[in-house]
A = this chain, B = another copy of it.
Amino acid sequence: MRILFVGDVVGQLGLTLVQKYMPALKHQLKPQVTIINGENIADGKGITERLYKALLLAGADVVTLGNHAFRKRETVDFIGGTSKLIRPANFPPQVPGAGYTMINVNGVKLAVVNLQGRVFLDNIDDPFQKIDILLTKIKTETDLCFVDFHGEATSEKLAFAHYVDGRVAAVIGTHTHVQTNDARILAKGTAYLSDVGMVGSYNGILGVKPEPVLHSFLTNLPSRFEPIESGPGQLGACYIDLDATSGKAKKIQLIRIDPDHPLMEM
C-alpha cells in the first residue's frame, strides 16, 4: 500500500498548488491513500468546511490538523459531522471531532491518526499515553496505522517514533513548515520523517508575508501575519510504501516541488 502525505497547506495558494500538482503526483505515484494536513488553509490559520471539502475534491482521502485546528470558529460546529477530517487525538476530552479515522483500501483498513507534541507547544494530553490507548482500539480493527505527529521539537518527534517503532507504519512530522532530510525506516519497521514541509508560497517565511514577520522580530510589536497568495509555490510531501500484511514500512521517499526543484518523473 502506498500512502501519499502532503504537509501543511497554507492559504488559497496552498490549495491551488495542491489542485495543480495532485493529478501528476497521483498519475506518477499511484498512491492508494492521500493524506493532507490542512491546519493552515484558511487565511493561514485553521480550516473551514468549504476548504475541507475542497481538499477532498482535490484528492485528499483524509485531512489532518494541528495547533491551529480550531482557529476558525465554525470548525467547532462542523468537525463533528465530518468523517475524514481529524484533529490531534490528544486534545482534551471535551474538544469536538475525532483524533483518528479508518480508511478502506481495497478491503484493507488503514488507521490514520493525528497527534500533537507538547514541547514548545500547547498544554494538551500526553501523546505517548494517548497512542497506547488508541493502538489498543485500532489493533482490534487493523494492523495498519499512519501517524501525522504535529510538533515543534525534533527530540519529541524522534522520541515518539522510537516509542511506537514497529507498532505503526509511519510517523511523519508536520508543523515547522520546513521539510527535513532525515527520512528513514527505523529498526523495527516504522517509516520516519521529522517534518514533511508545507504547501504554499516559495517566497516569504513559511508561507506568509515576510514584512510583518520581520516587523515582529525587530520590534516585538503586534503584527498580523498573512499568507502570500500569488507568485511561485512550493509543495512538500512524501510517500510511504507499506507491507499490508505486516504493517511495516518498506520505503519512504521525499517529494519537494518548487522553482528550484520542478516536478519531474519519479
Interface residues of A (CB under 8 A from B): 70-71, 76, 91-95, 118-120, 122-126, 128-129, 152-156, 158-160, 162-163, 176-182, 184, 187, 194-195, 197, 203, 205-206, 210, 213-214, 217-222, 254, 256, 260
Contacts and interface: CB of A to CB of B under 8 A. Distances in A.
B179 A182 contact: yes
A47 B122 CA distance: 28
Contacts of A153: 120, 152
- Top-9 shortest CB links A-B: A181-B181, A118-B123, A179-B181, A154-B178, A120-B120, A158-B205, A154-B176, A178-B194, A162-B210
A20 to B, nearest CB: 20
Contacts of A124: 126, 220
Please classify the interface of chain A as helix (H, G, I), strand (E, B), loop, or mixed, using the class held by over half of its residues.
Answer: loop
Contact of A92 (B71, B123, B187, B219): B219
A152 B120 contact: yes
Contacts of A256: 181
A100 to B, nearest CB: 18
Which of A91, A92, A178, A194 has most B Cβ within 10 Å? A178
A84 B91 CA distance: 34
A251 to B, nearest CB: 11
A206 B119 CA distance: 15
B91 A220 contact: yes
